[in-house]
Amino acid sequence: MTNTKPLHAPQDQFPVSGGCLTIGGIPLNRLTQRVGSTPFYAYDRDLLTARVAQIRGAMPEGLSLHYSIKANPMPALVHHLAQLVDGFDIASGGEMSIALDTTVEPGCISFTGPGKSEQDLSRAIAAGVVVHVESRRELNVLSWVGERLGIAPKVMIRVNPDFELKASGMKMGGGAKQFGLDAEEVPGLLGELASRDFQFEGFHIFCGSQNLRADLIIEEKSRTLDLALRLAQDSPLPIRAINLGGGFGIPYFPGDERLDIGAIGNCLTERLPGLRAALGEVRLILELGRHLVGEAGIYVTRVIDRKVSRGQVFLVTDGGLNHHLAASGNFGQVIRRNYPVAVGNKMNSKTRETVTVVGPLCTPLDTLAEKMELAVAEVGDLIVVFQSGAYGLTASPVHFLGHPKPEEVLV
């Protein structure tokens, strides 16, 4: 029997120079001096650019690629992506402010999420942002606020489909959900929409996040398009766009393999003629978060203590779950597994040992790497957590235990 342990996908997007990881062409030691303090997040501009080009190359011509700001709202990163993508997906009033500060047309910004406040809906109408309607209450508020402002709100209906996406890290559609309007309700709602003053654009259907199985994503996208076609049949209003959501995964854990987006692109390309025959010039939109930015970012934290407890080596770092909840395993994971981690200033070191890397918080939940083989590290060395460009700082409880907030840089 072969005993091959599953490995992390190689993190070769960041070259190594003189034993030191480089990001944006800058050796990590130098970048740390430039930032001036640890911990910090660093995002690589060229990797973001390359990822957008790669996705565009795989997807049918004319598909609109949106960035879902929820994954990483750092303004410099959002402004960089504004030059590259066709639009943004926002999920809060705060994200709306960030998106509206960029050069992206408000009509290419879509506002999703449950519980949108009247104030935010009103701001969205005034800005010309497309609102994804997720409840009857939202439809009513949009209707009368639009009337008050003298603007016909731009809307899409977010549909909670009558099926689920299998093997998704987080399910966001199918069954009973707080997201969107149940598919069964949509025909009635379209009638109401048509009788009021709205600019109706189409449907938004998104089933789940962090999926690495191209076959399952293809099945889900096919069923999503079938559902959109079915709903379009009874619609008194033309369907101009179908937003297919996001959810493309990236490899985090040992054994995870990169998603085959070429296969997904081929499926969408095959469906386009049929969709156009039924709906006319319909626009397909993908709104990706994690897959666009996740692999372009690292979290860097410094070893401040090294101790041995009953034979086990612990490296204690100056940041942990307060800055990077997901890497600690407490953001949607059922069983804790290690993110890819390395000692960033000792990338070529041949002397290695099994260690547990923990943050400075007084809770056993604060673990960045558990019993992982790393280069032998001392106080002062730099621990790097890869795959940290999405749902990193923005999804972390920075106030917990009152440590300073980490810096973020785009290089």
From 287, 295, 318, 366, residue interacting with ligand PLP (rule: CB under 6 A)? 287
Q: Yes or no: say if 47 and 13 are a contact pair by the CB < 8 Å rule.
A: yes
Nearest to 62 by CA among 224, 204, 269, 372: 269
Count of helices and strands (H, E) across the chain: 10, 22
Confirm or reject binding of residue 409 to ligand PLP (CB under 6 A): no
Q: Give the footprint of ligand PLP on residues 173-232 (CB under 6 A).
A: 206, 209-210
- Least CB distance from residue 40 to ligand PLP, whole Å? 22
Confirm or reject binding of residue 68 to ligand PLP (CB under 6 A): yes
**Which residue lies nearer to ligand PLP by CB, 131 or 288?**
288
**Which residue lies nearer to ligand PLP by CB, 26 or 71?**
71
Which of these ranges, 54-62, 116-124, 246-254, 265-273, lies near ligand PLP under the rule CB under 6 A? 246-254
Which of these ranges, 74-82, 262-270, 289-297, 353-361, lies near ligand PLP under the rule CB under 6 A? 289-297
- Least CB distance from residue 186 to ligand PLP, whole Å? 17
Greatest distance between any 2 Cα atoms in the chain: 73
Cα separation, 129 vs 146, in Å, equals 12
**Which residue lies nearer to ligand PLP by CB, 153 or 245?**
245
- Least CB distance from residue 390 to ligand PLP, whole Å? 6
Q: What number of residues does the chain have?
A: 411
- Least CB distance from residue 210 to ligand PLP, whole Å? 6
User: What are the residue ranges of helices labelled H in 59-171?
Assistant: 75-82, 93-100, 118-127, 136-149
Confirm or reject binding of residue 246 to ligand PLP (CB under 6 A): yes
Strands 208-209 and 170-171, by their bridges, are: antiparallel
Contact string 292-321 vs ligand PLP (x = CB under 6 A): ------------------------------
Confirm or reject binding of residue 247 to ligand PLP (CB under 6 A): yes
Which of these ranges, 148-156, 244-252, 268-276, 403-411, lies near ligand PLP under the rule CB under 6 A? 244-252
Residue 379: partners with Cβ closer than 8 Å, 6 or more residues away: 303, 304, 305, 306
DSSP summary character for residue 9: P
Cα separation, 285 vs 222, in Å, equals 14
Angle at 327 between CA 324 and CA 332, to 5 degrees: 100
Q: For residue 307, how far is the Cα from the chain centroid?
A: 36
Structure tokens at 102: 């960029």
Confirm or reject binding of residue 70 to ligand PLP (CB under 6 A): yes
Which of these ranges, 97-105, 230-238, 242-250, 329-337, lies near ligand PLP under the rule CB under 6 A? 242-250
Q: What is the 3-state secondary structure (H, E, C) of 187-238?
A: HHHHHHHHHCCCEEEEEECCCEECECCHHHHHHHHHHHHHHHHHHHHCCCCC
Contact string 19-48 vs ligand PLP (x = CB under 6 A): ------------------------------
- Least CB distance from residue 346 to ligand PLP, whole Å? 32
Q: Residues in the site for ligand PLP, rule: CB under 6 A?
A: 68, 70-71, 89, 91, 112, 206, 209-210, 245-248, 287-291, 390
